[in-house]
Structure 1
């Protein structure tokens, strides 16, 4: 049933994406529309990801809806889970999006009776939400009642063995470095597992988090693989955050701008990038404001691009690059230690640049859900000016070369 519901959610997101793409296609094909050219340019950057158009999406949704009567009857006897994503569209930033099936699978593993020290590996690429998923599992009331202690151990877990109480049922979450499954790291893990197993209470369990596929064999249960969100699912998330309670179908101009911005999101931290851009859109639901945000992000689709920061005092825009992005969780995300200037404020004109400084830290984005990850980057004004100067020099060189080629061609024609 979880698999069928997961498939239904996926097809729902795909259908919503197909409808929005079809609206852009219709607008691009109408020469009478004022923004037809811009719509065609936006549509050329979009794709359905899984192939096909609106008709294929409808067929897939109909297939997912087949035999739903039996499913509804069976679900009547199951405990209710959060009705997402639709019922939480106004609170999407405060909800874990699209991981309900995986969450229930992990909880089922943890609540399963066993006298052995079972291990569940959770694997996937970076920034896919492994720690976020596990944190939501640990906060679930069923898990908190089942385990007397929940331990979260980092890469130096061997130094925290004394904290594990062998007399009580414990859940131990261990994060491996994921350095390709090195023999040294695996040996350290086996020593930890053997040490805890000798004195652990029956029913204690391990969750192993890693990016390395080679660590799949370290568990006693089949590993849970997390994938990056599909484009259709990410679009549903992005659209809900950007429009809030507004209906995108009644705002076609904003829908086109939103899709143009969405087409440029290719950052590994897709949810963070979507949340950052959507927040700047939702602040002002006007076409002028959204086109200004599009202009800000048009020339920089990753954090290394050059942005034009706009101080609120009306001074000329200052080029900035955002480098050395780093992620922190836990105590390091306390608001008192985070930078007071945000990237969003800098690029949209909501903050003044620190006087006289050319390098300073900015808060890129802060998650509103556990474990409350924060992304901080260094704004480098000096490097951005160098990049702009080099690009201008290259542009002048290309222009002179083109003018020289045109002059030579004109001389050649005159000689003929």
Structure 2
């Protein structure tokens, strides 16, 4: 054990001295001067850009964020340049290296001149006494330290063959020296291995920070292009541009998802490390401190791969957008003023359905070839509450559609059972009417169904409507795939948002104008909640109301736990997770997300829609999730009130019972 301690101590002392001498070597080299010159050129370029930007009126929020980031980096660069220049000022002297070299030689001399425990007056310190008469200690230990292949074994071998060493002790001394040399080599290699692993982790952390910074900059650039494109009227005549814009938007969602995911996982790892912090009261915690954990290395490698992939994808996408930006700014003037923040844009407008909207507009506004059917029919199919009515409503609010059709009619029923031509027209609501002669008496009829339509009824209605003016159109929406057979063109199928797009929507809905990066723990909990909500727009909006009212970690942690319990309760009763996307007849069980010990639970039955002008219940569902007391019984509640066209109210029948 004493030999091991001496070997470890010797290696650590040698490495420490080498590190300290390397630390204070001269810093002003030719490479440093080149970097300083490059930094000065970059500061000139950034200053030119900022001065030019300050002379102009910039209204784009993403551009302003980029300018702020550039300004901060320019300030940081000036600070670093001045700090390095001040440290390099004359007065440090060039004789320090010589002094350090002299101290190094002197220290090494002292290190190699250490006497053995057997050294006596007038005796050669290299002589090892056989009888121990002149040595007070029973066994002397001489550490011999040096780099690999420096000659440690050779000098030991020569000492052992010295005639002054007693013959009886020669083999014993040789073995002891051999053990010491082997042990020293093993310790040296172990320390080198640990230091190399430490350097690898440090390099990986630095690489991860660089990738994160690069990804943030790319996201700012992509948001600038997307926001600028959404301020302009890009028609479907440029289908390639629309596909390009959609691809960039999807890559932006994916980039934000990766960025927030990495930040959340880092927060979880830091929380885990804090849980195993060194404690002088609990020795077990000292034994459980993670160090070089393979799981940690794998997690870091996974983060690096995700970041590299996201950065490469965004760089390639933005690199291909140069022509797009040129054509966008040259041929498409702005048509309206963009809201001043992204969360208002998400809150008040249809989200992530731009490509679908353009497909519907293309169907409605296309010029018919000679001999085509007089009445074109477009089926739109999708699950419940996925946004079919919202999509059609936004299309009908488009000025191009209102100028193209003289009359827009809406029919909203469960099905077309037993409908006649007269009763069908009586139940249609007029959405828009104009006397514009350019519309040519063209009609647009929108039929919104929950179920399938009877074949005979459909054929009768379609035959009667074929006498409408050339260019008239019909849109049929339903949850049933069977209505696809009525279409004269390919059906449009609405699906749930991608995981990345849904997280972006939920994040903007919950945090609003707050930066999730300033609340890493809340962002981690929000990302977990988003994964549990299964793409539901209704639950995202309702959950956002509750979470914004309780903006603290404890309430959000409790909400995540309640949602998990809610899902497990429903899967144990019905064999599957229930949500508002699937059209099921069985109820849903839920209870307060905020109260520490809920005393009541709520059974939710089918969610149905009511128009904005119809009467709705006064009790909102968010109050129940918030823990507000409600009497036992069965009654209707206001599940959600939409704030975007067609401003539908979602009403639900519920039954409240004691736990």
Cα distance between partner residues in 2 of 1:265 and 1:133? 22
Counterparts of 1:203-282 in structure 2 under 5 Å?
203-266=471-534, 270-282=536-548
Residue 379 of structure 2 corresponds to 121
Displacement of 1:62 in angstroms is 2.8
Q: 1:55 aligns with which of 308, 324, 337?
A: 308
Displacement of 1:134 in angstroms is 0.3
Displacement of 1:186 in angstroms is 3.2
Cα distance between partner residues in 2 of 1:61 and 1:107? 29
Cα distance between partner residues in 1 of 2:449 and 2:652? 25
User: Higher mean Cα deviation, 245-254 or 115-124?
Assistant: 115-124
Asked if 1 retains the 8 angstrom alpha-carbon contact of 2:406 and 2:440, the reply is no
Asked if 1 retains the 8 angstrom alpha-carbon contact of 2:639 and 2:650, the reply is yes
Q: What do the CA deviations read for 1:32-71 (whole angstroms, capped 9, x no partner)?
A: 33599xxxxxxxxxxxxxxx83332333323332321111
Q: Which runs of 5+ in 1 are unaligned?
A: 37-51, 389-416
| Residue 135 of structure 1 pairs with residue 376 of structure 2 | no
Cα distance between partner residues in 1 of 2:306 and 2:335? 32
Residue 109 of structure 2 corresponds to none
| Residue 7 of structure 1 pairs with residue 247 of structure 2 | yes
1:291 alignment partner, SS class: helix
Displacement of 1:109 in angstroms is 2.1
Displacement of 1:219 in angstroms is 2.2
Asked if 2 retains the 8 angstrom alpha-carbon contact of 1:253 and 1:287, the reply is yes
User: Higher mean Cα deviation, 14-23 or 118-127?
Assistant: 118-127
2:603 alignment partner, SS class: strand
Give 4+ residue runs of structure 1 displaced > 4 Å after superposition: 79-87, 162-167
- Whichever of the two has the greater Rg, that structure is 2
Displacement of 1:74 in angstroms is 2.3
2:566 alignment partner, SS class: coil
Displacement of 1:177 in angstroms is 4.2
Cα distance between partner residues in 1 of 2:474 and 2:352? 24
Residue 584 of structure 2 corresponds to none
User: Higher mean Cα deviation, 114-123 or 159-168?
Assistant: 159-168
Cα distance between partner residues in 2 of 1:35 and 1:58? 33
**Residues 310, 238 of structure 1: alpha-carbon distance in 2 compared, 3 angstrom cutoff:** closer
Cα distance between partner residues in 1 of 2:498 and 2:621? 26
Displacement of 1:309 in angstroms is 7.9
Q: Which fold has the larger relative contact order, with Cα–Cα distance below 8 Å and residues 6 or more apart in sequence?
A: 1
Asked if 2 retains the 8 angstrom alpha-carbon contact of 1:293 and 1:348, the reply is no
Cα distance between partner residues in 2 of 1:90 and 1:295? 29
Q: TM-score when scaled to structure 1?
A: 0.75
Cα distance between partner residues in 1 of 2:248 and 2:589? 38
| Residue 168 of structure 1 pairs with residue 469 of structure 2 | no
Q: What do the CA deviations read for 1:193-212 (whole angstroms, capped 9, x no partner)?
A: 211112x1222111122333
User: Higher mean Cα deviation, 130-139 or 19-28?
Assistant: 19-28
Residue 187 of structure 1 corresponds to 456
**Residues 217, 347 of structure 1: alpha-carbon distance in 2 compared, 3 angstrom cutoff:** closer
Cα distance between partner residues in 2 of 1:378 and 1:11? 40
**Residues 84, 323 of structure 1: alpha-carbon distance in 2 compared, 3 angstrom cutoff:** farther
2:497 alignment partner, SS class: coil
Cα distance between partner residues in 1 of 2:275 and 2:349? 38
Residue 104 of structure 1 corresponds to 358
Task: Let me know the Cα RMSD of the aligned residues.
Answer: 3.1
**Residues 82, 290 of structure 1: alpha-carbon distance in 2 compared, 3 angstrom cutoff:** farther
**Residues 28, 85 of structure 1: alpha-carbon distance in 2 compared, 3 angstrom cutoff:** farther
1:381 alignment partner, SS class: strand
Cα distance between partner residues in 1 of 2:565 and 2:258? 26
Asked if 1 retains the 8 angstrom alpha-carbon contact of 2:378 and 2:476, the reply is yes
| Residue 353 of structure 1 pairs with residue 646 of structure 2 | no
Asked if 2 retains the 8 angstrom alpha-carbon contact of 1:276 and 1:365, the reply is yes
Asked if 2 retains the 8 angstrom alpha-carbon contact of 1:363 and 1:375, the reply is yes
2:274 alignment partner, SS class: coil
Asked if 2 retains the 8 angstrom alpha-carbon contact of 1:241 and 1:282, the reply is no
Cα distance between partner residues in 1 of 2:635 and 2:629? 12
Cα distance between partner residues in 1 of 2:621 and 2:450? 29
Cα distance between partner residues in 1 of 2:314 and 2:546? 32
Residue 43 of structure 1 corresponds to none
